[in-house]
Structure 1
Amino acid sequence: MRKGEQTRKHIIQKSAELFNVRGYAGSTINDIMKATGLKKGGIYRNFTSKDQIAAEAFDYATAILSERFSKAVESADTAIEKTLVIFDVYKDAVNDPPVIGGCPLLNTAIESDDTHPELREQALRVMKQFLATVQEIIQNGIQSGELRSDAEVVSLSSLILSTLEGAIMASKLARDNSHIAYCKEHLHRYLLSYRAERARI
């Protein structure tokens, strides 16, 4: 990797952490300079604006998250297990989240809702991708005979996403990972109610 590419990657990585901790609005170019150890010229040789940095930093942060989710899902066998291991990615949301500062999707969605339409669109795209992944897991579970055919794929996926993000928020706010564990356990019980009869044997 060339020096210019390394510098650009360094800016994106450090900015992703900075924005995820302090927020886009709460971070200035001076903060980015401090986080990266670069002067303003070094920043602007690689990016035209803070908006561009924010967009690429969000993509970088959510790519890390996506990779962690994918590895977790690949490690499980059944549809219910694949759904539940998603929560394990954030089992230590307080001390060891995949990205410093918590969930970049949650943080960006909240901050950008009414203030930054471009970032909001990025967050919405990532949310839709996550929902599509969960929907595929549930659909595969139905097709394999693990889950009942009347399982509501769309609403179940929405419940899983909302439960996860709510659990992350509660755990971060209370600095108590038990909220993740509670939500995972209750979701497990709920998903078992959709297990097909032959899968119970």
Structure 2
Amino acid sequence: MAKGEETRQFIIEKAAPIFNTKGIAATAMSDIMEATKLSKGSMYVHFENKEVLACAAVDHNMKILGTKLQSVIGKSKTAKEGLMAYIEFFNNPLNPPVVGGCPLLNFGTEADDTNPIVKEKVNKGIKFSQQLVSDLITKGISNGEFKPEWNADEFGTVLFAMMEGGHLMSRMSGNNSQMKVIIKALHATIEQNSL
């Protein structure tokens, strides 16, 4: 990796948790300069403005999330174990897998009316997550783990919405009691559709 690319990556890695914690609008370039110990001139050599850096930070946060999630699911021996691993991965919103919380929720809430580029990145992340769940169910149906009539796409949507909703509720209340209720309901649905 060339020196310039190393510096650019360093800036993204330092900026990503700040943007995910404070939000795009509330993060100033001075916050990033403080974290990186780089001058404003150095920052603008690598990123023409804050929006370009924010987009790179969104990509970085979502890549971390996706890589960690796929790693956990990849250790599962069965589709059912994979679904349970997905749920377990997100079971503690107060100690999230990415610093600052779920980047899909954080950036999606902020960007839905203000930033079409970030909105599209988040939408792709949502579709990826839903497809991951749907694919696990489809695999489980093929393997004889799940009932053939279980609608994989519908459950992918339901699971994603419930987990994100639980994440929001837990972060707002400061405890995971709501997430525990959601996880119990999701486990029950998986059991109802298991053979």
Using the size of structure 2 for normalisation, the TM-score is 0.94
Give the structure 2 partner of residue 139 of structure 1.
Answer: 138
Letter in 1 for 2:24: Y
CA distance in structure 1 between the aligned counterparts of 2:37 and 2:90, rounded to whole angstroms: 30
Given that 2:170 and 2:176 are in contact with CA atoms closer than 8 Å, whether structure 1 keeps it comes out as: yes
Give the structure 1 partner of residue 157 of structure 2.
Answer: 158
Instruction: Point out where structure 2 has 5 or more consecutive residues left out of the alignment.
Output: none
CA distance in structure 1 between the aligned counterparts of 2:7 and 2:176, rounded to whole angstroms: 35
What SS class does the counterpart of residue 99 from structure 2 fall into? Answer: coil
CA distance in structure 1 between the aligned counterparts of 2:131 and 2:91, rounded to whole angstroms: 22
Give the structure 2 partner of residue 20 of structure 1.
Answer: 20
Identical amino acids, percent of aligned pairs:
32
Letter in 1 for 2:143: S
Given that 1:87 and 1:180 are in contact with CA atoms closer than 8 Å, whether structure 2 keeps it comes out as: no
Give the structure 2 partner of residue 199 of structure 1.
Answer: none
The RMSD of aligned alpha carbons is 1.4
CA distance in structure 1 between the aligned counterparts of 2:23 and 2:57, rounded to whole angstroms: 12
CA distance in structure 1 between the aligned counterparts of 2:160 and 2:35, rounded to whole angstroms: 32
Superposition map of 1:124-135 within 5 A: 124-135=123-134
What SS class does the counterpart of residue 45 from structure 1 fall into? Answer: helix
Give the structure 1 partner of residue 193 of structure 2.
Answer: 194
Give the structure 2 partner of residue 178 of structure 1.
Answer: 177
Give the structure 2 partner of residue 69 of structure 1.
Answer: 69
What SS class does the counterpart of residue 91 from structure 2 fall into? Answer: coil
**1:53-106 Cα deviation digits (max 9, x unpaired):** 111111111111111111111222332321121122233321x32211100011
What SS class does the counterpart of residue 139 from structure 1 fall into? Answer: helix
Using the size of structure 1 for normalisation, the TM-score is 0.91
Letter in 2 for 1:106: L
Moved more, 27-36 or 98-107: 27-36
Deviation at 1:182, TM superposition (A): 2.6
What SS class does the counterpart of residue 46 from structure 2 fall into? Answer: coil
Deviation at 1:175, TM superposition (A): 1.6
Given that 2:33 and 2:40 are in contact with CA atoms closer than 8 Å, whether structure 1 keeps it comes out as: yes
